[in-house]
Structure 1
Amino acid sequence: MSGLIQSIRLILLMAGVMFLFSVSAVAQEGLKGKLNDFADQSITNKVSEKEQEEVEKLSTELKTVQAQMDSAITEKQIRDSVFRAEQEIGGVAADGEAKVIDTLAFEERFFSVKKKTPSNTRKEDDWRKKYLFTHTNVYKKVHELDSSKQVFGWHPFWMGTAYKSYNFSLLSTIAYFSYELDPATGAYRTIHDWKTTALVDSAKKYNCDVLLSVTNFGRANNAAFLSNQKAQANFINTLISLLKERDADGVNIDFEQIPGSSRAAFNNFIIDLSSSLKTARKDYRITLAIPALDFDNVYDIPQLNQYIDTYVVMGYEFYGANSKVAGPVAPLGSGNIWWQYNLESAVNEYLTLGIPKSKLLLGLPYYGAEWETYDLRFPSKVKRFVRYPMFRDIRKNHYNSGCCEDDVSKSKFYVYRDSNNDYRQIWYEDSTSLSKKYDWVIENDLGGIGIWALGYDNGYTELWELLATKFALSDKEAIAVAKSRSRYSFRRYLSLAFRVLNNPYMLVRNPRPLFSIFGAIFGLSMGGFFLLYRYGHRLKRVFKLLIKSGITLLIILGIALIFIALQYMGLKEVSYLLGGFVIGVIIFLLFSHRFISEKNLP
């Protein structure tokens, strides 16, 4: 029995040693269990009274050790809890916070990053002066986009004349932001420079579609508009008029924070909008900006697919102005660091709901987010949000500073101590991180990418060069496409003619087609003059009369175009038209003089 007692004592000694070095509550609990089992087994053995007293004494010692272990475990749990609380208060460790899903804050951030105070007085050039846009360092090479992918970009009104530095050959669609909707009437509070901006003509020169973005932000505003059919009808009529006036190609609907109760009303609105636009012009496009997460199950995708040409997922603001933790604005993945929603999950969710890949574009940010934080490591708790810097600002101020990439989110970040000795973190996208996200879009065969916002890289060319690398054809492929297109030039002219007949007012706002029309008039006239001059004496009287009547009609049409030009166009364009007609008259007189003289001979 003495051997048994010695064994118990030895175990108690080992337990004490193991306990001192044990940092795991689970391990300690396991140790306690084994000691209990061994003690019970030992005490229940048949022993003498003296030995029994010895065993009971050891049992008491064992219980004391267990109590100490329980107390220590409790103390450790409290200590860990206090440590975590201190971490949260001090912001030194925000791993838990980074994974917390705050959908309300996430939803709020979407339109906060787009919302600006409307300015009816500040024009394009005023914005240029405010932001000091430059048009000197510009990527000018003309490209041919791969037709299997779309490159969609928003031009916010506050980017003013920054469009003068855009490479429109690398954009398939540009949306002017925005028609700011009055939900009570359907009219616009402001459309900024939509009626006058040269952006429209500049884009169309490179076959880039131009859309008017329509914005309505907030649950109350969306509920009010979507429940008011009169306001919707007024909006649709106003929109069609504005699109016709600029010969635009469609609309981008950007309604944010639509309440779930308005799901059916939103469907009806889109159906009505589509029907009206297609009646006005069959090739009008309807695109829809959708959040990374359908917070209130608003979008009835199977229904909307019949009417929406393109969906643009707003793949940003995962961390931003009201987030408690500093983190990537547009994370591709989350890993064990960031909250579960990311670009990949957002896209997969919408694909599961039924959006065709070819219709789905992933919108990515040309901006970053900056916070004052408790710590330089990530994730870190936020003291305060600082700002949303444009790419151009980050490029200018931190390009030569040490920066890093988060391999999980595929985003860039930069940490530093400011002049007040406060910690700062900036999370952003650059050509390296965007390249990886573009590759992901291509590998997953999505319809393309969206950009919020064009002009945010003004003064730098690397993001344009990246678009060319990822989405443009090679020079050899572009030449082949150009040759193929030249075979169908007649079809393009015919399409232009039908568009002019359908909407003559487009010539007022966009005079470029006037020159094509004048060229056609001049060419047909010269052909008729040549026939009269060369074969007039052989033609029958009726046929000659038809030719003369046709020529007269073309001349009258030309004069009508001149009057339109005189009323609505500048002196430069009018002078071109007048000069062309003068030259045509001179050539006509030179070639027809002999024919007219011979006709008057006795």
Structure 2
Amino acid sequence: MDTKENIEKTAPLLNSSFSDDFDKNRWKKQILIGMFIVLLAVFTYFVLPQNKKSTNLENGNKTIISPAITKSITQQTNTIKREAIGFLPSWSVAKKAKVYPKDLTQIIYFGLNVNKDGSIIKYDENSLPVLEWSYFNSDYFGQIRKEASGSGTKVLLSIKSFDNTTIDNIISSQTATNKLTGQLLALIKEYSLDGINIDFEYFTDTNFPTSKYLATFLEELSLRLKKNNPKIIISIDVNATVVVKDKAYNMTEIAKAVDQVILMAYDYRGQSSTVSGPPSPIYGEANEHSISESIDALSGRVPNDKLILAIPFYGYEWQTFTDKHKSSIVEGSGALATYKRVKELLKERSDIIKSWDDISKSPWLSYMQYGAIKQIYYEDDRSIAEKIKFAKEKNMGGIAIWALGYEGNYRQPWEVIETLLD
């Protein structure tokens, strides 16, 4: 066997080119050995742990998923397309309130009244156009409809009545139903409308004899309006407390007849209330009505994806006897307090005491004016966010806003809606 010494002694006798080749081969061998060591290290560090993870997964062991991946999975599985509906009253059109169709999936013009014979009221007894009809045909609303068309936002017309006798006759008379349906078909065609909203604010006593006709009326209306265009949207507005107290509403059949049931989740308290409090409480104290109670009353009667939560861009202000939460009210002092009104009041005054009711998830404030105590229970960005989160938790089909224009030029509530509603 050659030793290191023997190799060194015989080296000068070797051919020089052979020596160069030998050196090159030796370096190549060392490089290959080095590469092998690196690959072995990579295999040991990365591949074996992955195999171990796979084995753990197969054996049912828990694996850790990063928050980023969890968020991605959640986004992929939550595929519900929720509605953002805005009610646009004629008086907001009259004031040329700024409307952003791109923020909405639907704009519902509110609205045209009906006679008890089913005819839509367009003109008064002097053959002059009524205001609602004038603003529906105004250049400004025409501009809104054009912008809505460009942004893919649907435009619907609301047909309304607050008179029990009128509603009773329309829903129980085939002649009246036929007349109303025919006139609606003509309006849909002439104005390229995407649907009809029914706002029959029909306050009944339990088992009121004509209430059974409401579902039948809606079923026939829907069938006839959708006959030539199945994409026509039919929705109905329902009072939030009525669906709790009055079981005469056959909400199961009503829900089958329409595409959307819009729950008017406000006016749990109003201008004529005797005690101050939130008009749109998500939850209530003992013996108090609330949005949660209304939703529970509709559970199993209206599919979640058809149910729309209508939230207010307003509250109420009263003169009260104390500055305490839920104080007694001075009779006749109630007034509407829009989102815009409250924002401007908070800017103007530095003496306002703001509070938050954690049960109802609503803000309220108090201040002194000419020696009188004033309280306002209202909606702000936080309470709007709470209602959107509630609607999502209940897997509802979306939200509706009453009413466009009440926010003035403030964009904050729309930023909340855009951020939270998916």
One-letter amino acid of the counterpart of residue 378, structure 1: H
SS in 2 for 1:325: coil
Deviation string 1:543-573 (CA, Å, 9 cap, x unpaired) is: xxxxxxxxxxxxxxxxxxxxxxxxxxxxxxx
Quote the Cα distance in structure 2 between the aligned partners of 1:383 and 1:376: 12
Cα pair 1:288 1:310 within 8 Å, conserved = yes
Say whether residues 1:285 and 2:227 are aligned partners. Answer: no
1:242 pairs, out of 187, 192, 215, with 187
Quote the Cα distance in structure 2 between the aligned partners of 1:163 and 1:169: 17
Deviation string 1:192-246 (CA, Å, 9 cap, x unpaired) is: 4223422222212111111101101032222232233222211111111111111
Equivalent runs, 1:529-540 vs 2, <5 Å: none
Equivalent runs, 1:130-209 vs 2, <5 Å: 148-160=81-93, 165-189=98-122, 190=130, 191-196=133-138, 197-198=141-142, 199-209=144-154
One-letter amino acid of the counterpart of residue 466, structure 1: V
One-letter amino acid of the counterpart of residue 167, structure 1: Y
Shift of residue 459, structure 1, vs aligned partner: 1.5
Quote the Cα distance in structure 1 between the aligned partners of 2:97 and 2:189: 23
Cα distance, 1:418–1:427 mapped onto 2, change above 3 Å:
same
Quote the Cα distance in structure 1 between the aligned partners of 2:251 and 2:386: 28
Equivalent runs, 1:176-325 vs 2, <5 Å: 176-189=109-122, 190=130, 191-196=133-138, 197-198=141-142, 199-259=144-204, 260-293=208-241, 294=243, 295-325=245-275
Give the match for residue 278 of structure 2.
328
Q: Which has the larger radius of gyration?
A: 1
SS in 2 for 1:424: strand
One-letter amino acid of the counterpart of residue 405, structure 1: W
Say whether residues 1:424 and 2:374 are aligned partners. Answer: yes
| Greater mean alpha carbon deviation, residues 358-367 or residues 271-280 | 271-280
Shift of residue 163, structure 1, vs aligned partner: 6.5
Give the match for residue 344 of structure 1.
292
Cα pair 2:320 2:330 within 8 Å, conserved = yes
Quote the Cα distance in structure 2 between the aligned partners of 1:425 and 1:164: 27
Quote the Cα distance in structure 1 between the aligned partners of 2:211 and 2:236: 15
Q: Please state which structure has a larger fraction of its residues in strand.
A: 2
Cα pair 1:184 1:225 within 8 Å, conserved = yes
Cα pair 2:316 2:376 within 8 Å, conserved = yes
Give the match for residue 396 of structure 2.
446
Cα distance, 1:174–1:346 mapped onto 2, change above 3 Å:
same
Say whether residues 1:388 and 2:336 are aligned partners. Answer: yes
Quote the Cα distance in structure 2 between the aligned partners of 1:280 and 1:341: 42
One-letter amino acid of the counterpart of residue 174, structure 1: I
Equivalent runs, 1:500-519 vs 2, <5 Å: none
Give the match for residue 346 of structure 2.
398
TM-score, with structure 1 as normaliser? 0.52
Shift of residue 274, structure 1, vs aligned partner: 0.8
SS in 2 for 1:394: helix
SS in 2 for 1:398: helix
One-letter amino acid of the counterpart of residue 206, structure 1: S
Quote the Cα distance in structure 1 between the aligned partners of 2:83 and 2:248: 25
Quote the Cα distance in structure 1 between the aligned partners of 2:175 and 2:339: 42
Counting matched residue pairs gives: 324
Deviation string 1:382-413 (CA, Å, 9 cap, x unpaired) is: 11333102111111112464311111111111
Cα pair 1:200 1:246 within 8 Å, conserved = no
One-letter amino acid of the counterpart of residue 380, structure 1: S
Quote the Cα distance in structure 2 between the aligned partners of 1:277 and 1:459: 36
1:364 pairs, out of 307, 311, 314, with 311
Give the match for residue 4 of structure 2.
none
Quote the Cα distance in structure 2 between the aligned partners of 1:315 and 1:300: 19
Quote the Cα distance in structure 2 between the aligned partners of 1:448 and 1:298: 26
Unaligned 5+ segments in structure 1 are 1-145, 473-602
One-letter amino acid of the counterpart of residue 279, structure 2: V
Cα pair 1:222 1:258 within 8 Å, conserved = no
SS in 2 for 1:329: coil
One-letter amino acid of the counterpart of residue 325, structure 2: F
Unaligned 5+ segments in structure 2 are 1-78, 123-129
Give the match for residue 416 of structure 2.
466
Say whether residues 1:415 and 2:366 are aligned partners. Answer: yes
Quote the Cα distance in structure 2 between the aligned partners of 1:200 and 1:147: 26
Cα pair 1:291 1:313 within 8 Å, conserved = yes
Quote the Cα distance in structure 2 between the aligned partners of 1:227 and 1:302: 19
Quote the Cα distance in structure 2 between the aligned partners of 1:164 and 1:328: 26
Q: Please state which structure has a larger fraction of its residues in helix.
A: 1
Cα pair 2:320 2:375 within 8 Å, conserved = yes
TM-score, with structure 2 as normaliser? 0.73
SS in 2 for 1:388: strand
Give the match for residue 57 of structure 1.
none
Shift of residue 248, structure 1, vs aligned partner: 0.8
SS in 1 for 2:299: helix
Deviation string 1:569-592 (CA, Å, 9 cap, x unpaired) is: xxxxxxxxxxxxxxxxxxxxxxxx
Shift of residue 185, structure 1, vs aligned partner: 4.2
Shift of residue 184, structure 1, vs aligned partner: 3.2
Deviation string 1:130-164 (CA, Å, 9 cap, x unpaired) is: xxxxxxxxxxxxxxxx8621111100000016666
| RMSD (Å), alpha carbons | 2.0
Quote the Cα distance in structure 2 between the aligned partners of 1:372 and 1:448: 35
